[in-house]
Amino acid sequence: MVKRIIGSAVRALLMAFLVAIPSLVLPGTSSDAAQMAALIALVAAVVTFAEYSSEYPTFLEFRNAPPFNRLRFLALFFCVWFAALLMASEGRDPALSPAFIENLAYSATSILDFPYSPVRLMAIAFADLPVWFNVASATRIASLLLAVTMIALLLFWAHARFIFWPIRKTAFNFWINLPLFDPTSGRDVLFRLKRDAHFNLALGFLLPFLIPALLRLWIGAFDASMLALPEIMIWVLCAWAFLPLTLMMRGIALFRVAALIEEKRRRAYAQEDELQLV
């Protein structure tokens, strides 16, 4: 009980710190923006603490199947941190040598910014903004964030594929790790798990292409000056990179759970056949 409370408090503090990163890193943050960030950080910390301190699950999936949520948190943390650092470096003296994070952003842009790529589509979505908007800077940030999420996705796939996730250390509790999935309703659980996995993977693959189109429509219909705020731009780019990662990780995880259930059924059927032969 005490261990769970301490772990929940640490997770809540980390979540609050993640939300507050842009306000802490960006120079010249207004008092209103800082107060809003503090309020959102407090809400995120309370929700995180309530989720992990409870013995029974509520809505967070794969709560007891690390490193699913840990990888997601690290990916979002590095996305927000890198985006905030790159935004803060825009006001740096051009005569100074580029920082290490900027070199990473330039390298990611040279690799990921090609025709019809999600990064190129994001640059096209920002192309119609007024002259005060730095499209090149947004493109570099988007490239680096996409690279971070791709690395996180590859690490999770390798962990799930080669290190026997999620049953390497403990048994997999279906109810705790998938609290919103009812295995007793509808069709066979294997069919529903694979269907949801296919849907998550397909939507996660399409979102990096769909979000720039939706953003372009939003820019044409509403006031685009909001994107001039560095905090807003950071969270827009992080959402563009992080939401597909979450969906694709969930799809991989559901496929893995389905494979475990299928293997368990195969063993049960084999045991029944052996008993019948005896």
Residue 273 reports pLDDT greater than 80: no
- What pTM was estimated for this model as a whole? 0.90
Residue 97 reports pLDDT greater than 70: no
How much is the average pLDDT of 242-271?
Answer: 88
Distance CA 235, CA 237 (A): 5
How much is the average pLDDT of 184-199?
Answer: 86
Paired tokens of 125: 């979505």
Confidence of residue 254 (pLDDT cuts 50, 70, 90): very high
Number of residues that this document lists for the chain: 278
What residues contact residue 204 under an 8 Å CB cut-off, 6+ apart? 243, 244, 245, 246, 247, 248, 250, 251
Q: Residue 62 region, left (φ>0) first, then alpha (ψ -120 to 50), else beta? A: left
The string of pLDDT tens digits covering residues 139-182 is: 999 999 999 999 999 999 999 988 888 887 777 888 888 888 87
Interior/surface letters 222-250, b for 16+ CB within 10 angstroms, e for the rest: eebeebebbbebbbbbbebbbbbbbbbbb
How far is residue 108 from each of residues 47, 51, 226, measured CA to CA in Å?
34, 36, 26
Confidence of residue 197 (pLDDT cuts 50, 70, 90): very high
How much is the average pLDDT of 9-24?
Answer: 93
**Contact status, residue 217 vs residue 124, Cβ threshold 8 Å:** no
